[in-house]
Amino acid sequence: MARMRAIDAAVIVMEKEGVTCAFGVPGAAINPLYSAMRPRNSIRHVLARHVEGASHMAEGYTRAKAGNIGVCIGTSGPAGTDMITGLYSALADSIPILCITGQAPRARLYKEDFQAVDIESISKPVTKWSVTVREPGLVPRVFQQAFHIMRSGRPGPVLVDLPFDVQMGEIEFDPDTYEPLPVHKPAATRGQIEKALEMLNGADRPLIIAGGGIINADASKLLVEFAEVTGVPVIPTLMGWGTIPDDHPLMVGMVGLQTSHRYGNATFLASDFALGIGNRWANRHTGSVETYTKGRTFVHVDIEPTQIGRVFNPDLGIASDAGAALKLFVEVAKEWKADGKLKDRGAWVEECRERKRTLLRRTHFDNMPIKPQRAYEEMNKAFGKDTCYVSTIGLSQIAAAQFLHVYKPRHWINCGQAGPLGWTMPAALGVRVADPEREIVAISGDYDFQFMMEELAVGAQFNLPYIHILVNNSYLGLIRQSQRGFQMDYCVQLSFDNVNAPELRGYGVDHVAVVQGLGCKALRVTDPNEIHGAILKAKKLMEEFRVPVVVEIILERETNIAMGTELDNITEFEDLAQSAADAPTAIALLD
């Protein structure tokens, strides 16, 4: 067997497990890992400007393509603590990423050594597994176990902490005989699927709730096939958006308190049965459990057994990978259809489509300053069906979910449960690294943009072009809306008079100047009729210079997006659509 440093074995294991890219920032305690990667030149390294940014890049990289696992690397101490937010985000949304941190030598642990912190204990609540490796001989098997854990069951992140002397220790390791461990995923039985289908078939107004687990399982085609065979309409969750194209006749809207459609909420409230697959019944989707469950029967299929019954107890629960369950659902449904057992759902589907046709929010406004609804309408016109949107939390994301159109899985990449500001930009860069050809559009409010805008330099340095739509109202918009319940507008203004950019008239940061200073390109739009042209110009700049291009859209200061406290209590702040001209791109979905 070959004799080598433990850290050299770790790099070989990563290669064998399919790692081809890592995002990180080198430092003293993790330099042995960099010394192991450098001569092999098999793992591309993208140098982040902040280690939290590296963790979000890793998540974007994972989510861009089935089978990817993003890797983020940092040194000891604050590098690990800075990546906690990224680990939390990945755990909350079931995304596997591998975080590798350096650590002080074992003899200096717990002795107030410089940048020595117990990152294992700190990160345990936000990882599937966190471990400080205390023996060099354990290193290759810890990495093997890390990939096994990340991929098995409900996916999620792992942190491996490596003391300096453990990395440098000499061990015996045979690369030629190494094999990844088999991945464990629970699978539904035929009997369970038949019971669930029997319950669905007995309902008058059933729905399928399609969650992000379907995308993780790469099973969106199976979902669409199952819906088409049964004729049952589909409600995707925010994490499951794209599992069925927005213009599919059986896609009947999203449901929720914020990221939802009027017609989606109305259709759900009219339903009597819901089959949830790969979803977690998140509260932004459900509102109160009492309203959500009243008058309905539920079947819940999820890869994590303890997720079933966590929010509310379904009438039937099935612990299964979404792909395995859907394969059986399609098989049994086809048999039943051939035997004439399945109900005709034509009248129910037409009822749902009528709501989709008539219960629309208005998007076509000519106001100046620009209303956000118009910005998203123009994006729908300028970007095609192959566009991949990336966004995190805030009014920018909520409006995107209400007004944009998504047609493919992994083409809506958003931070769902954790929602950290600053996530959008590094995540979009991670998606670009994973897929050099995809049209990528990131969407941020001004505060999300300002959180980690230094990462634009990464896009300039490594030629990672994408378009970033910055909708700027110079407010913490979502927080401002929530403060209304307290009758205040307090500490949420981002506005000031910028002496270097008087034309901004109190909007504060000159984002165009900042973006250009970081080596990228930027445009600013103040007229709604100029948005489309600006996006087309941004595409040309991106192709010419191969760097991120930011299109800043100056919005009205008081931007209000529909939301509420219950599915049947949503406040519509703006006029609703009265004709096709009021919501042209939404109406086009029905053509």
> Could you give the residue numbers annotated as active site?
25, 51, 421, 476, 479
- Among candidates 171, 158, 220, which has minimal Cα distance to 410? 220
Give residues with Cβ within 8 angstroms of 503, minimum separation 6.
none
How many residues does the structure list for the chain?
Answer: 591
Q: CA of 485: how far to CAs of 39, 412, 482, 565, in Å? A: 59, 31, 6, 12
Return the SS3 of 550: strand
Half-sphere exposure of 537 (CA within 13 A, CB side): 13
DSSP string, 319-386: E--HHHHHHHHHHHHHHHHHTT-SPP-HHHHHHHHHHHHHS-B------SSBPHHHHHHHHHHHS-TT
- Measured at the CA of 244, the angle between CA 377 and CA 338, to 5 degrees, comes to 145
Provide the 10 A C-beta neighbour count for residue 109: 15
Return the SS3 of 211: coil
- The alpha carbon torsion through 376, 381, 386, 392 (nearest 10 deg) reads -10
Do 282 and 417 touch, CB atoms closer than 8 A? yes
Measured distance CA(178)–CA(404) in Å, rounded = 46
Do 298 and 276 touch, CB atoms closer than 8 A? yes
Measured distance CA(135)–CA(438) in Å, rounded = 43
For residue 491, give the DSSP letter. S
What radius of gyration do the chain's Cα atoms show? Answer: 25
Q: Structure tokens of 335?
A: 């048999």
Measured distance CA(377)–CA(227) in Å, rounded = 29
Do 332 and 190 touch, CB atoms closer than 8 A? yes
Return the SS3 of 51: helix
- The alpha carbon torsion through 473, 479, 481, 486 (nearest 10 deg) reads -140
DSSP string, 262-322: HHHHHHHHH-SEEEEES----HHHHSSHHHHHTT-EEEEEESSGGGTTTSS--SEEEE--H
Helix (H) or strand (E) run with residue 518 in it: none
Measured distance CA(577)–CA(589) in Å, rounded = 15
- Measured at the CA of 428, the angle between CA 423 and CA 431, to 5 degrees, comes to 125
